[in-house]
A and B are shown apart, each in its own frame.
Chain A
Amino acid sequence: MKKVEAIIRPERLEHVKRALEEKGFVAMTVSEVKGRGEQKGITLQFRGRTMEVDLLPKVKVEIVVEDKAVDAVISTIVDAARTGKYGDGKIFVVPVEKAVRVRTGEVEE
């Protein structure tokens, strides 16, 4: 099992949710986060001064899936979240040792 962690633009969340659902990936955890990438956020230009807004609001989507489904999840998120501009986000894949369903206690390894 792997956890796919996608940091995306807040305004793309609806598209990503819909796209994942269409592919059959329904379960997810979503949190509001702030962050910055290589560009250090956004620089606003005003007459005679600049202003750095370095931590921009993003959304983190976490999905745990079977190893073989990881590529499908990644490509679905990339297609749905991409605008082509800096700040589209990043996806991380991390190994998951086990998952336990609280209601039944059943363990997935």
Chain B
Amino acid sequence: MDDVAVAWLLASTALVMLMTPGVGLFYAGMVRRKNAVYMITLSFIAYILVSLQWVLTGYSLSFGDDIAGIIGIGGIMPIDIFAIYQLTFAAITLAIITSAAAERMKLSAFVVFGLLWTTLVYDPFAHWLWGNGWLAQLGALDFAGGVVVHISSGFGALALAIALGARKGLGEYSMEPHNIPMTLLGAALLWFGWFGFNGGSALAANETAVRAIIVTNTAAATGALVWMILTWTSGRPGSLSIVTGAIAGLAAITPAAGFVSIPAAIVIGIVAGLICYRAMLFRINARLDESLDAWAIHGVGGLWGTIALGIFAKNGLISGNTSLFVSQVIAVVVSVIYAFAVTFILAKIVDAAIGLRVSEEEEYVGLDISQHGETAYA
């Protein structure tokens, strides 16, 4: 890798690192004030755990010498820019899953679950698609993590939320977001960091990187506008909806960012806005307490984007080729099933071993006090 590329990836590493606390702020604004510290800290803990797991074995499991297309040979991470850049991807993926832990998961349980999850779900996914594993050999593409980051964490969050059960009092009394500006700040950091996420995934400071950033920004704005219109026509355009739409667009463009045109990015953003919104309504009606919507936004957005890549890429359906599209569909089906099933099993194992949830009293007092002995506000 030349020095220019290294410089861009160093910058991108810093950009993506900031996304993880960004996720924490994004989620923390949406919970009740008694859980704000806990929610931000969960993202920091995700970053801390994965930072160590990645250098000790995660990188090599993902990108080391291939064993039968399934996993790499583990071991210490090399001193390498790609390796540290990829660390930030593994970390934010675990941070996205904390959506499901909102206001009820024991800190100790999250630590154990997080280490298991990043090793048994994230690392295989990274290997299958980016480490020349079996899905890559099949021809499946994932530019910056539609499957590896968004489907894995989104469908993982759904499984974890179901394993945890709903928060006490859900549907019975109000659980309004306690600090919307905090969520907006988190969303701003995510959008900003996403330029490094998708732009850096070109692995060079070249036209592909420029394209990735342009279509990323386009899809984000499109998704945001769609949610703004959807909520405006049914009442008022809430700021929370506007930035959530942006993240739907961002998640959807992620797998396709290096491969598609500006018009395709607009289509991807429109569809992402529409289907992620429907997914959220479905989640609400089904009384599923995945209320920070990692599944509806990241999971469903990443799923659509991964399929969309098979449609809009140069050798996609649009140009009359079916083979890429078929590979993308296979990647989606496999990743959805694997992420959901393995996450659910891991959650159940941790539950049996040490228990997933805090006690009813701890939940009532809030996890800031019960887990950290701190409060966010006087």
Residues of A within 8 A of B (CB): 11-15, 42, 44-45, 51, 53, 56-57
- Chain B stretch 339-378: residues in CB contact (< 8 A) with chain A: 359, 361-362, 364-365, 369-370, 373
Are the CB atoms of B173 and A12 closer together than 8 Å?
A: yes
CB contacts (< 8 Å) of B359 on chain A: these are 44-45
Q: How distant is the Cα of A44 from the Cα of B362 in the complex, in angstroms?
A: 7
Are the CB atoms of A51 and B373 closer together than 8 Å?
A: yes
Q: How distant is the Cα of A12 from the Cα of B172 in the complex, in angstroms?
A: 9
How distant is B373 from chain A, measured CB to nearest CB, in Å?
7
Asked if B127 CB lies within 8 Å of chain A CBs, one says no
Minimum-distance CB pairs A-B, first 5: A11-B173, A53-B365, A14-B174, A42-B361, A44-B370
Asked if B235 CB lies within 8 Å of chain A CBs, one says no
Q: A13-B174, A44-B359, A44-B370 are in contact. List 17 more A-B contacts (CB 8 A).
A: A11-B172, A11-B173, A11-B174, A12-B173, A14-B174, A42-B361, A42-B364, A42-B365, A44-B361, A44-B362, A44-B365, A44-B369, A51-B370, A51-B373, A53-B365, A56-B365, A57-B34
- Chain B stretch 265-302: residues in CB contact (< 8 A) with chain A: none
Q: How distant is the Cα of A61 from the Cα of B172 in the complex, in angstroms?
A: 20
- Known contacts A42-B364, A44-B361, A44-B365; A11/B169 CB under 8 A: yes
Q: What is the predominant secondary structure among interface residues of chain A facing chain B?
A: strand
For A11, A13, A15, which residue has the most chain B Cβ atoms within 10 angstroms?
A11
How distant is A73 from chain B, measured CB to nearest CB, in Å?
21
How distant is A14 from chain B, measured CB to nearest CB, in Å?
6
How distant is B85 from chain A, measured CB to nearest CB, in Å?
40
| 16 contacting pairs across A/B (C-beta < 8 A) | A11-B172, A11-B173, A13-B174, A14-B174, A42-B361, A42-B364, A44-B359, A44-B361, A44-B362, A44-B365, A44-B370, A45-B359, A51-B373, A53-B365, A56-B365, A57-B34
Q: How distant is the Cα of A44 from the Cα of B173 in the complex, in angstroms?
A: 23
Q: How distant is the Cα of A57 from the Cα of B361 in the complex, in angstroms?
A: 14
CB contacts (< 8 Å) of A12 on chain B: these are 173
How distant is A57 from chain B, measured CB to nearest CB, in Å?
7
Counting residue pairs across A and B whose Cβ atoms lie within 8 Å, the total is 26
Q: How distant is the Cα of A85 from the Cα of B173 in the complex, in angstroms?
A: 16
Q: How distant is the Cα of A42 from the Cα of B363 in the complex, in angstroms?
A: 12
Q: How distant is the Cα of A56 from the Cα of B173 in the complex, in angstroms?
A: 18
Closest to B378 in A: A34
CB contacts (< 8 Å) of B365 on chain A: these are 42, 44, 53, 56
Closest to A87 in B: B364
Q: Mark B171-197, 1 if CB is under 8 A from A, else 0.
A: 011100000000000000000000000
Q: Mark B141-180, 1 if CB is under 8 A from A, else 0.
A: 0000000000000000000000000000100111000000
Q: How distant is the Cα of A45 from the Cα of B358 in the complex, in angstroms?
A: 11
Closest to B168 in A: A11
Are the CB atoms of A53 and B369 closer together than 8 Å?
A: yes
Q: How distant is the Cα of A86 from the Cα of B373 in the complex, in angstroms?
A: 22
Q: How distant is the Cα of A50 from the Cα of B71 in the complex, in angstroms?
A: 45
Q: How distant is the Cα of A27 from the Cα of B174 in the complex, in angstroms?
A: 21
Closest to B358 in A: A44
Are the CB atoms of B364 and A14 closer together than 8 Å?
A: no
Are the CB atoms of A14 and B361 closer together than 8 Å?
A: no
Q: How distant is the Cα of A14 from the Cα of B176 in the complex, in angstroms?
A: 12
CB contacts (< 8 Å) of B174 on chain A: these are 11, 13-14
Q: How distant is the Cα of A13 from the Cα of B173 in the complex, in angstroms?
A: 9
CB contacts (< 8 Å) of B373 on chain A: these are 51
Are the CB atoms of B369 and A14 closer together than 8 Å?
A: no
Q: How distant is the Cα of A44 from the Cα of B365 in the complex, in angstroms?
A: 9
Q: How distant is the Cα of A45 from the Cα of B359 in the complex, in angstroms?
A: 9
CB contacts (< 8 Å) of B370 on chain A: these are 44, 51
CB contacts (< 8 Å) of B169 on chain A: these are 11
Are the CB atoms of A14 and B173 closer together than 8 Å?
A: yes
CB contacts (< 8 Å) of A53 on chain B: these are 365, 369
